[in-house]
Amino acid sequence: MATQQRGLRTRLREELYTYCVFCFALSALPALALSYVVVRISNHFWLKLLSSKHPSLEFIRTNTVRTLLDTHRNQGIINVLLCIKGTLNVDEIKHEITQHVIDRRDDQGELMFPRLRHLLVSSWGNYAWDANAPFRLENHFIVSNGVYRGRPVSDNNIQEYVSDVISKYFPNEQPPWQYIIIPCVSAEPKYYILARVHHLLLTGKKSLNIGDFLLVEQLPANRIIEQREYHQRSPLAKLFPAPSAIPELWEKVNESLSNIWNEFICEYDPTESPETLKTLPGVFHVAGMVMMSATNALREVTKKRFIDRDHKPTTVTALLSAVYRECRKRDLTVPKILISPLVTIDPRKWPRKIFGATYSATQMMLKLPTIIRDEVVAINDLRTTGRVKKTNTFTWRYGDIGQLCMKATGEALRAMSELYKAPAYFWTDTVRSDDGKRHMLQTVSLCGRKVTSWSRPVPRAGMERAARALGVSSTDIALFAATEALRSFFEQTQADIPDSVFITARAASEDFLYTFAEGNGKNYKKSQTGGMVCLSLPVGATPRRIAAVVQEACERQGTLAAAWAAQARCGALTRSVPSPLARLTMNVLSRKYAVSYAEINTPADTTQRTTLWGQTVDFVVYWRPPQANISMSLTVMQYADTVRLTVMTDARLSPSHAIPAQRWPVVVEKLVSKIDQEIARITAQAQLPLEYIPPKKPSKEDLEPSHEEIPSPSTSRPTEIVSRPGTSSTLVPPRPVSVSPPPIRKNATEE
C-alpha cells in the first residue's frame, strides 16, 4: 500500500512538473513571436546598412547554427576522403571537376556555382562574398608530392599525412575550398582524394552539395534494394515518424475538392459549356462566374510572378484588370449582373419548382426506411469485413474518408500529447540530467585546429548478425563500441573514467554525401536531413543497456529532433532568436555535450561506388567538424559491406585522438566473435539428443563479466533469455533450416 501511494505521489509530481513546464513554454511563445519580428527587421536594416557601406560585397542573409558558432580559429570545414582504386590520371580528374563543378552553367548560361570563385570575408560579424578577388584553379586543385616527413605516403602513414593537412587553415586570400590529390605507394595501384569545403559553400543560394566535389556516379532513383531478413533500420533515422493518415486525408480532400470544382466549371463556365449562354444567368450563376473569373485571374498573376522573379509586385489594379478580362471571356456584363436577381425570382418558375420539391420530398419519405436499412448493413459490413457491398449507400461513398478522419484525429491527438510533454522532456534530458561531474573532454581548453583518424573496416554482416542475436540494432552495437573506445581513451590519457558520457547523436542517409546539387538535389538533401537527440550513454554498459537508453531518448525527444530538423531545413530557430543569445546557448550546451556522434547509413547489399571517370571507390571517410565547445566528433560510415569509425578532435587531444579509432574495431570484432562462438555452440548442441547433453549449472564467475573483457550479453534483460539445459547462453539460436522439426526441449523456466 505504501509503495502504491509513493507511486501515485511520483506520478502526480511528474504530471504537475510537466504541466508547469508546458505553461511556462506556452507563455514564452508571444515573446518568441515578437523576437522573430524584431530579429527579421533588425537583420534586414543592419544588412542594408552594411551593403550600402560595402557595395562590392554580397552579404549572407541566412544564419545557420554553424554560422553562429564560426570563429577565426574554429571554422566549420567539411572534410571527405576518397580512396580510389586504379592508376592516377591527374588530367582526367581535373577535366571532370572543371566541367562538373568549376565551369558548370545553368540553363541561362550563368555559372551554377559562382561562390567557388568568390572570397569569403567578414565585416562587423557578418559573412560576405567578394566577387572581385582573383581566382586561380591551381590554388585549389592541388596535387601532393606524396612525401610526408621524408617518407613516401603509404598505408602506414596516410592517416598522419591527412591529419596534418586537415589541421591547417585555409589561406585568407583564397576561396575556402581545396581539392587535394594524394598519390600513395601500395601493392595495388590506388590514390586518395581529399575534399575540403567551408560549410557556407554548401548553404544558401547557388550553393553546391558535398557530392559535387566527390564526383561519384549517381544511382538510379528507381533502384530496388533487397533488404536482408535481419536488417534493422537505425533508431536515429526514425526519430519523428511521419504521419500517414493526415497526408492521405489531405490528399483525399484535395482530390474531392478538385473533382467538385471541375464539375462546377463544366456545368456553369460558359467557356467550357456554351449552352449556358442561351439563357440569362441567375444570381447564383453570376456569383459562380465571378468566382471562376477571380480564381483564374489570381492563378494567372501568381504564375507570371513565379516565372519572372524580377517582376514588379502585383497591385490591386492589375488584379482587377485580370478579373475584368476573365469576365469578358465569359460574356459577363454589367446588365446581366443587374438583371440576375429578376431572373432568379421569376414567378413563372415557381409552380415547377414547388412540384419538383414536393415530389422529391415524397420520394425521400417512401425510401427512407430502405435507405436506413442499407446504411446500417453497410456500416456493419465496414466494421466486420472492412468492405462495403452496397454501392448505393453513403457509407460506401464516404466510408474511407471517415476512417481516415478517425486515424488522422488519433495522429493529431498523439502529436498534441507529444507537444505537451516536449518542454518537460527537453528540460529533464538536457539540463536536469547533469550530475555536476566533468571529464576530460568537457574541460579541455580548445585551440580550434582539428586532427583526424579513422579505423580499419569492420564487416557489416558481422555487426548485423550480432545485433540480431542480441535483439538490438547495428547502431546500438556501434554506440556500445564507441563507449568502450572512449573508456580506452580515458584510460590511456590517465583521466578519470566517467560513469556516463553525454553525446548528441544523429543519422543521415548516403544521399546526404553523394547527391548532386543540380536539379532538385538541394531540396532532396534537405529532406534527408534528420533530427538530433541527446544521449547519456553509460560507460561499460552492455549493448542491450545502450539500446534501452537510445530507445528511451528517441521516444522522449521526438519533438526536439523535429525542431532540430526544421532548423537544418529552413533555419526556424536562428531566425527567431537573437544571434548572441543563440550563440551563448549553443556554447553552454556544447560544453556539456562535448562528444558528437553521427551515422551515414546505406541500404543493405549495396556495392562500391564508381567515379565519373570510371574508377572504383575503395572506401569513403567523412568528418563532421566539431564546433563551439565540442571536442570530439565521431562518425560511423557505412560503405558497401564495411563499417568504419572516423574521429575528429581538437588538436589539444593529439596524439591520443587515434585511440578511439584503434579501439573501436577491436571491440566490435570481439563482440561478434563471442556471439558467433555462442551461436556455433548452441547450433552444435541442437543437433544432439537431449539426454547426451551433460547438465551444467552456471557459476557465479560465468555470470559476472570482467571489466577487461567485453560485457556479456547475458547481463541485461533476463526475461528475453531463451536457454536450454546444459547451457548458460542468452542467445536465441538461429531458425532451423532442415525439413524435420527440431527436438523438443523444456524451457529453463520450467525446471
- Work out the average pLDDT over 622-651: 94
Q: How confident is the model at residue 390 (pLDDT cuts 50, 70, 90)?
A: confident
pLDDT at residue 110, rounded to an integer: 86
pLDDT at 716 over 70: no
C-alpha cell at 247: 497526408
What's the CA angle centered on 547, arms 542 and 548, to 5 degrees? 100
- Work out the average pLDDT over 511-517: 86
- Work out the average pLDDT over 535-543: 92
Q: How confident is the model at residue 256 (pLDDT cuts 50, 70, 90)?
A: confident
Q: What is the dihedral of CA 261, 263, 269, 273, to 10 degrees?
A: 160
Give the separation between CA 195 and CA 174, rounded to whole angstroms.
16
pLDDT at 78 over 90: yes
- Work out the average pLDDT over 684-691: 63
pLDDT at 367 over 50: yes
Q: How confident is the model at residue 736 (pLDDT cuts 50, 70, 90)?
A: very low
For 263-286, the pLDDT digits (tens) are 888 888 888 877 777 778 888 888
% of residues, the chain, pLDDT over 70: 86
Of residues 672 and 522, the one with the higher pLDDT is 672
pLDDT at residue 1, rounded to an integer: 56
pLDDT at residue 162, rounded to an integer: 95
Q: How confident is the model at residue 486 (pLDDT cuts 50, 70, 90)?
A: very high
Quick check: helix, strand or coil at residue 670? helix
pLDDT at 119 over 70: yes
For strand 500-509 and strand 532-538, is the pairing parallel, antiparallel, or unpaired?
A: antiparallel
pLDDT at 328 over 70: yes
Domain 54-215+433-670, what architecture?
2-Layer Sandwich (3.30)
What's the whole-model pTM score? 0.79
- Work out the average pLDDT over 665-693: 81
For 10-51, the pLDDT digits (tens) are 888 888 999 999 999 899 889 988 998 999 899 889 999 999
Cβ atoms 296, 326 nearer than 8 A = yes
Q: How confident is the model at residue 344 (pLDDT cuts 50, 70, 90)?
A: confident
Cβ atoms 164, 29 nearer than 8 A = no
pLDDT at 79 over 70: yes
pLDDT at 705 over 70: no
Of residues 204 and 587, the one with the higher pLDDT is 587
Winning range, highest mean pLDDT, from 130-134, 338-342, 577-581, 670-674 = 670-674
pLDDT at 452 over 90: yes
DSSP states of 224-243: -----TT----GGG-SSPPP
58: which residues sit within 8 A by CB, 6+ positions away? 118, 128, 129, 131
Closest CA to 456 of 328, 330, 326, 644: 644
483: which residues sit within 8 A by CB, 6+ positions away? 501, 537, 538, 539, 540, 541, 546
pLDDT at 704 over 80: no
Closest CA to 713 of 677, 748, 686, 685: 677
Of residues 664 and 739, the one with the higher pLDDT is 664
pLDDT at residue 91, rounded to an integer: 93
Of residues 632 and 740, the one with the higher pLDDT is 632
Q: How confident is the model at residue 703 (pLDDT cuts 50, 70, 90)?
A: very low
So where are the chain's domains?
54-215+433-670
Q: How confident is the model at residue 313 (pLDDT cuts 50, 70, 90)?
A: low
Q: How confident is the model at residue 744 (pLDDT cuts 50, 70, 90)?
A: very low
For 101-112, the pLDDT digits (tens) are 999 888 888 888
For 154-184, the pLDDT digits (tens) are 999 999 999 999 999 999 889 999 999 999 9
Closest CA to 132 of 84, 193, 175: 175
Of residues 531 and 664, the one with the higher pLDDT is 664
Q: How confident is the model at residue 708 (pLDDT cuts 50, 70, 90)?
A: very low
Of residues 571 and 535, the one with the higher pLDDT is 535
- Work out the average pLDDT over 301-312: 65
For strand 632-639 and strand 595-601, is the pairing parallel, antiparallel, or unpaired?
A: parallel
For strand 450-454 and strand 642-650, is the pairing parallel, antiparallel, or unpaired?
A: antiparallel
pLDDT at 687 over 60: yes
pLDDT at residue 528, rounded to an integer: 66
For 204-251, the pLDDT digits (tens) are 888 888 999 999 998 876 654 554 444 577 888 877 777 888 888 888
- Average pLDDT over the chain, rounded to whole? 83
pLDDT at 574 over 60: yes
